[in-house]
Every structure is written in structure tokens, then in C-alpha cells.
Amino acid sequence: MATEHLLSELKDRVLYLTLNRPDKLNAMSGEMMSALVENLSRAAHDSNVGCVVLTGAGRGFCAGGDIGGMRERNESSGPAPTIEDRVAGLRHGEEASLMLHEMSKPTIAAINGPAAGAGLSLAMACDIRIAADNARLGTAFAKVGFSGDYGGTWSLTRLVGSAKARELYFTADIIDAAEALRIGLVNRVVPAATFRDEVTKLAKKIGNGPSIAYTYMKANLNEAINHDFRQLLDREAWGQTMTGRTEDHREAVKAFLEKREPTFKGR
């Protein structure tokens, strides 16, 4: 699905998906979210994609829902959608968070500026979060009388713990990048001036890594969130055995002994 609200570029095995409504701090639209879901679904099965980076155009990552659009909807005199239709529409967009979390490719949120509400939820659904040092983050939902969506309560609880997640949701306080790093909400904070270069460097490294091993690795890490140790040991034993049969594994061992960088082929 082609749309001006979402830009897509594949480079060096990295798929860059850019939320593109810079005049509204990349606030979500139905068009944007449908395109994001479609692009993520396609990327999940594309062997040319080794890593996915989600970022925002202009000075922001994503401000979450479009407040102006909410006002228009609330004041509209036309026929209102049914509750079931609204739930179904929201749930469709939320598939983006699910795919960022579950797809076999590593996913990176490049938080180049403000990330709030469902925009922050999207970032938290990614495997890794890199923030520019001028980024600001907040749950925001309480400020507009919402309870939260796009999986944010699930992700934030697991990233920073239940007590801190409750505080950030109930108060809707905005925190800076340094505080986000301190509490474990983001993995790295880098200067805004070199932000794009740092993101590209990491994404290229991961995108050209052992994709089969990453598939099993990410599945293990996701299982570790909700399953017991015994189940995880079984899964790890299976994954370790299967990756040990790959050409990538043999190449990596050979490269290590020859003191050179391996060339992975996803086989």
C-alpha cells in the first residue's frame, strides 16, 4: 500500500519505515496505520529484509493519536460508527505493535523526537529503542481521558516494572531521554547530530547478521517473558541444534578461526 503518510525504503537489508505527517508530529491516521500493518506483514516474509527500523519524519517520532481528528469525530453530527466497528478498526491498527514484537526480524525504534501515547506504544513494541538526546517520551493517555492502546501497558510493565509503569500511565508525565535510559525504557541515547548515522550503523550490523539464528533468538527472548525456565530450556535446545545445522553457523566458525568478519547468507 503506497501512501504519503508512511515512507518505505530498503537499503543494505534494512527496511526503514518512516511515519510521515511531520506537520502533526507524525500523529497517527487510519491511512498511516493500514500502510504500516501492510508493510510489516510483507517484511515479515521477505528474505531481503534482515532488520526493520521504525522512525518519524521531521522533528518527532510519533505524537500518538490525532487530537484534532478526535475532536472532529466527537463533534460530528453524522451517524456514529458502532462500538463494534470502532473496536475492530482500532484492533486492526494494533496489529502493527503485535508484528513489531512477534515478527522473526529484529525491529528497532529510532526515536528521533517526541514519542507519546500510541506512538510510544509502537516504539516499546520494538526489540531495541534508540533515542536522540533531545527526545521526550510520555504515555499521554490520561491527558485526553483514554486508558491506552497499542500494547503500551503490556510493554511498559515489562520494560520498567509494574510500579514505574503505573506511575507513568497515571501521571502522564513527560520524561527526557536521559531518564528513559536510566529506567530501562530505551537502550541507547545518542546525540541528535549523529542520530541517523548511529541508527544506520546498528541497523546495518543487525540486518546483515545471521537471520536464521535471529529467528530462533527472538522467539526465545519472547518466550522468556511469559514461560517458565524448563520450557525455555527445551526451546533453546531445539533452536541451538537447528542453527548449528546452518551454513551461516559453519561460515561464522570458519571466519572466527581465520580472524575475519563472517558473511551471512541466511542459509
The answer to whether residues 92 and 133 belong to one domain is yes
Inside any domain, residue 241: yes
Whether pTM > 0.85 for this model: the answer is: yes
Cell 530505551 locates to 186
87 vs 118 pLDDT, higher one: 118
What percentage of residues in the chain have a pLDDT greater than 70? 95
State the Cα–Cα distance between residues 154 and 169, nearest whole angstrom: 12
pLDDT of residue 227: 82
pLDDT band of 125, cuts 50, 70, 90 = very high
Backbone angles phi, psi at 155, to 5 degrees: -70, -45
Looking at the structure of the chain, the number of domains it has is: 2
The answer to whether residues 155 and 235 belong to one domain is no
State the Cα–Cα distance between residues 204 and 199, nearest whole angstrom: 8
- Taking residues 106-129, what's their average pLDDT? 97
The answer to whether residues 167 and 217 belong to one domain is no
The answer to whether residues 202 and 250 belong to one domain is no
SS3 28: coil
The answer to whether residues 116 and 231 belong to one domain is no
The answer to whether residues 109 and 225 belong to one domain is no
The answer to whether residues 217 and 198 belong to one domain is no
> What is the domain-level CATH number for residue 201?
3.90.226.10
Inside any domain, residue 266: no
The answer to whether residues 129 and 112 belong to one domain is yes
Inside any domain, residue 264: no
Lowest mean pLDDT among 140-144, 231-235, 242-246: 231-235
Inside any domain, residue 164: yes
Confidence check: pLDDT of 267 > 70:
yes
Average pLDDT value for the chain: 92
Inside any domain, residue 33: yes
Inside any domain, residue 136: yes
Inside any domain, residue 225: yes
The answer to whether residues 85 and 217 belong to one domain is no
Lowest mean pLDDT among 16-30, 93-107, 221-235: 221-235
SS3 246: coil
The answer to whether residues 52 and 177 belong to one domain is yes
Judge contact between 86 and 184, C-beta under 8 A. no
User: What would the pLDDT profile of 169-193 be if each residue is shown by its tens digit?
Assistant: 999 999 999 999 999 999 999 999 9
Confidence check: pLDDT of 28 > 80:
yes
The answer to whether residues 244 and 142 belong to one domain is no
Judge contact between 211 and 266, C-beta under 8 A. yes
The answer to whether residues 168 and 58 belong to one domain is yes
72 vs 200 pLDDT, higher one: 200
Q: Which domain holds residue 173?
A: 6-207
Confidence check: pLDDT of 77 > 70:
no
pLDDT of residue 134: 97
Judge contact between 1 and 34, C-beta under 8 A. yes
Inside any domain, residue 263: no
| Side chain identity at residue 214, one-letter code | Y
pLDDT band of 233, cuts 50, 70, 90 = confident
Count of residues making up the chain:
267
Judge contact between 38 and 15, C-beta under 8 A. no
- Taking residues 33-62, what's their average pLDDT? 97
